[in-house]
Structure formats: C-alpha cells, structure tokens
Amino acid sequence: MIWIISFLALVASTLGCGVRQMVPYPAGEIAKRSIRAAGVLSGVRDVANVPSVVGGGPAGIIHGNEAHSWPWQASIQTSRGQHFCGGSLISKNWILTAAHCSVQPGNDYVVLGQYDRGSNNEDIQVKKISKVITHPNYNKQTTNNDVALLKLSSPVQMTSRISPICLPSSFTSIRPGTLCVITGWGATETVSNPRVLQEATVPIVSQAQCRQFWGRNSITDAMICAGASGASSCQGDSGGPLMCESSGVWYQVGIVSWGHKSCSTDRPVVYTRVSYFRRWINEIIRLN
C-alpha cells in the first residue's frame, strides 16, 4: 500500500463515504491544456475569470455516456448562479472548503450532484448555507490554516450522485509520488468556462521539494503539495478536493489553497492538509 491509513480512517469507509458509483453522464468535452491566467490562486472571486484544473480532462469519462461520478464534489455559487469555488461533501450537513473563498451565508449557495453546469436535466440539490466557520488561525497574508466548514440549512439527501468523501485521520501519512486526483470547473486553453467537471491526476510532492519551489517559510506543516507534472489546480478550483484512493475508497487529503499566478503546470500547487485539521473538523461538527 503506497500510503498509510490509520484505523480511524478505515472506520470511516464502513459508513459509506468515499465510494464512487457508475452513473449516466454525457460524453466529455475538451481536454485541459496549459493556460495563461491573471491573478493569484487564493482570494479570487472574479467569476468571469476562474480557470480550473489545468492539464486535465472531463471528469470520470470512460466511454460513451458512462462515468464514475465524484459524488462529493460541490460547486459554491453566488446568488446569480456563478461558480466561484469548489468544496466537498463530508456529511449530510457539512461542506469542507477553503477559508480564502470567503463564502457568505445568505448570499452564496452549495450545488451538489452537478456535472454539466449548463444542463437542466441533472438531479442536483441546491442548498442554502446557514453557517460558515473559518479556522480561527487562518492567515490571509500567508494563507496558512486555509480551511472552512459550511453548515447547510437542511440535510443532503444521499443518492448515487451525491454522497460524502472520507477524511483521513490525524495520523495519516502520504508518501511523495503517490498519484492522487484533483477536480473542478473552469477555463481550458480554448474555452473560458467549460460546462463539465474536469479532473487530473497529480503526484504528491515532498515538503522538502515544495519548499525548494516556494521557500522554506512559505510551506508549513498545515500544507501539502502536489503537481509539477503537467497538471495544476487554479483559481476556480479553490476549496475543492485533492483526493487519494486506497482499496477502492477515496480520502480527501487536501483542499485547493494557492499556487503560481499563471497556474504553471511545472510548479506544485499548495493544498491545505486535511489530516492536520481532522480534530478541529470533528470538534466543530460536534459542537454545531
């Protein structure tokens, strides 16, 4: 086994999280290529320019109209239906995302079960947000502790297209080189706002190598890096998942946080390390 999962993480799989199912989807569209994007990865809410997974392709497509879904993928949208950040369903009442997305309860919404954002035929669920809880030590300047929890105004109904992802325990360790997956919506090289969810496979990058790219003081223990291999997360992916699979079960190991201003695919992207915040996540959910 390439990466280590503690007993606590294995228990989560028995609760029905982290399992992808075969569902009907339309055939995919344009594969991702390198792009040129303005701005920086974190703190962007410019929904007119939200490039996403660079170097990837349509999510889950196998052949024809069949695909394995990413049933925990959430689109966080404005009241006008504009996608600006991603997120992950972790229970029937909670979404995990990035603090820098600055989600606003009462104005923003969570959309689940979506694949093609231009389709009116998908069995989606649109949820209001009753509460946004940002980590108390989140630092806007350094983007450290970039994690937030969104409590939904009503529970999600679990279906074949909507179900939670598993979270790793606090003791989970992932070896550099492990291949994991990123997902999200946004611009390709030729399409500024693709309709279908995109995905790409990226390797985990060691802390030492990531610090060579970004500087020793920029990468903390609360972060994990991946990429520098022809694919990259970018602005519209913020808050979405970096996920790894073990024995058929998917675990969210990272939250899209920050990276190169032009989403360069030869530089690693920095993700919030989920295992580092597992106890905080559990405590917030218990108290709220």
CA distance 44 to 252: 23
Helix (H, G, I), strand (E, B) or coil at 4: strand
DSSP for 229-288, please give it.
SS-B--GGGTT-EEEEEETTEEEEEEEEEE--TT--TTSEEEEEEGGGGHHHHHHHHHH-
CA distance 221 to 144: 9
Secondary structure of 184-242 in the HEC alphabet?
Answer: ECCCCCCCCCCCECEEEEEEEECHHHHHHHHCCCCCCCCEEEEECCCCECCHHHCCCEE
Amino acid at position 24, single letter: P
For residue 273 the two structure tokens come to 């390390």
CA distance 55 to 169: 30
The residues carrying an active-site annotation are 100, 146, 238
Q: Which of these, 226, 224, 232, lies nearest to 204 by C-alpha position?
A: 226
For residue 72 the two structure tokens come to 């925990």
Give the number of other CB atoms < 10 A from CB of residue 213. Answer: 18
